[in-house]
Structure 1
Amino acid sequence: MPILPLLLNILWIVFGGLWMAAGWVLAAVLMAITIVGLPWARAAFNIAAYTLLPFGQRAVRRELVTGREDFGTGIFGLLGNVIWLVLAGWWLALAHLVTALGLAITIVGIPFAWAHLKLAGIALWPIGRAIVPA
């Protein structure tokens, strides 16, 4: 990993990234406890890792990576995202928004606030996303 993304990721962990990644892991564990929630748990664990180290990576639609639609990018992915939004997406997005507002108050925190805003969007609609190097 180049030095700038490494430095940004270290600062990110200190200024809110660690607790937001813990929120994603908590959502994944709660979904995994209910066997029915395993598809959401997988997506949440993937995004928890992305939330922990977001600089140097980006989230894209999975069909752009694979070149084809699959189970998570079609109608079932849409249904899964709606269920996710109701069960866990809104509170994760709200936590990212609150953290972004707190960071945006300072000039130094603006890049981190922007990253939290991007993660808030992913929190609302995570299924069908892939994390790729930037």
Structure 2
Amino acid sequence: MIEINGVELELDLMDADVADSFQDAINELSIKAEKTDRLGDAIRQQCVIVNDFFDKVFGEGAADAVFQGKMNLKNSLAAFEKVINEIPNAQESIHELTSKYAKKTAKPMDHLPKTKPVTSKKFVLAK
């Protein structure tokens, strides 16, 4: 759970589908930027890109809830940064979980019985 501008958003980067949506949204960020001569248009464009990111990661309407229709680049980038800063937390959690279980399961194989040689006999399911 992450709170941005008083809005609580579910961000479970340990969930494969959420991680995929997150990665797809990140990959689309740089594709959308266009050159413009007006400062206001450039700010608006960046805010729209962040809004699209929020809607893709958290679901349609998330950007409206978080930014309330305002196109303020400072607020948009601060919110985006808060989400991006969750990546190291997720990576650390994954590392902790996997190393915790790896320690329990990674044991020397010396104690296992010797395996029998593979035969050419095929398994047939009884009918």
TM-score, with normalisation over the residues of structure 1?
0.29
Whichever of the two has the greater Rg, that structure is 2
TM-score, with normalisation over the residues of structure 2?
0.30
